[in-house]
Structure 1
Amino acid sequence: MGINERKLRDKERRVAEILEAAKGLFLDKGYLHTTMLDIAERSELSRRTIYLYFRSKEEITFAVMVGSFGLLRDKLKEAVKKASTALGQLYRMKEAYFDFYRNHFDDFYSTLYFDLKLNTKNITTEDARTCFNIITEIVQLLSDVLQRGMEDKTLRPIEKVDRTAFTMATIIMSTMQKAAIRKELLEYATDFSEEEIISEMFDLLFLSVKH
């Protein structure tokens, strides 16, 4: 292994350590209460080293979200391959969303900060733009499934597929995020869990497009 290759691997390892530390802290303490010092201490690096790779906590946040949204996108892509009809693909996507929620909750939790942090000033930064592009891919994946459903007759005719896909994707993430945040309140005030709310939301969405 050459010197340059070793340096690149060391950089990638340290960046991964920083992002993993930040992701865990955002879940444990919340974004607002997490500091660069916290991230440095958990990743067992100095603050000076952290600043070699990231100029701010906001940059770290977007880098974390790139990984989290990328993981969700990849799971959804794999899910679509597991069914032969569009309606079946929608239910496979539901399973993928649940897998992301249950088994990668730190990644799921990181997606909460996208709406909080994204604005017209930082959308041009590389990681912010990458996040936006990944979300666009997810919406397009859903749009393709809806289009396929009209062709295989498992879904009803939809006048504006892209708009419907965007609306569905927004409702899915918003409901999942709200249910996660309000989990304890739901358990206290109702007889159903946050997962039951999420499942009901998917069923209602699919019923709205089912043929």
Structure 2
Amino acid sequence: MVSFNFALKLTYHKAVGITATCMLAALFVGLVWPYAASQSKTQITDWLNAPDLMLDTSVLLTVDVFFQITFCVMMAKKIAGEQLSVVQRAIYAVALWFPGLLIFPVLFALLVEIIFSFPGNDFSTLSWATATCVLIATPSLSYLIRFLLPEKDLRLELMFVVNAITAILGIIATVNGRTAVKGTNSVEWDALAGFLLIIAAGTVAGILVNRRSIRKTISKLQ
């Protein structure tokens, strides 16, 4: 899902942006092979079973999803024809060129898996061959998505949904089962009230924004 979201976001870049982003990902794969070759399946298993590391990973996941959803919001405003302020344009530029944090661990995991799958081969050759595949496959997938889904708004909705699902599944996975074994019969009323308040505030804000957009659309038509 991270890789698909990475290629999906590239559909909003021009050729220069796609080339620069894919070259960055390919260079990462090509240069990180000394560290990837030193890993072992036992060490990776220990990492995945470390609760503190998994909780840190969930924070990384949250930051990444925050930037991606921010991009979705700013792009939605542009598609709707709204005039962005100076601050909003700056936020949009940062969110657009932010490649994401999760794609690099995913590429690293891919490289480690390839090194494990081809024992006895030169690690550097495998790494740069994988980098070449990333450099070719990523823009190809991006252009394929753009061909299959030419509507920007439809791709944007898909990107939003993918990030939301990634956040939900990622947080569930990175807590490492701790919430499943630590049960409680008490209710945190303060936390519950705060959660309901956030939902209510978001609902009201959504209704107000929707009404404002409808009024602007009606005024333009008149």
TM-score normalised per structure 2: 0.29
Give the number of the structure with larger relative contact order, counting CA–CA contacts within 8 Å between residues 6 or more apart: 2
TM-score normalised per structure 1: 0.30
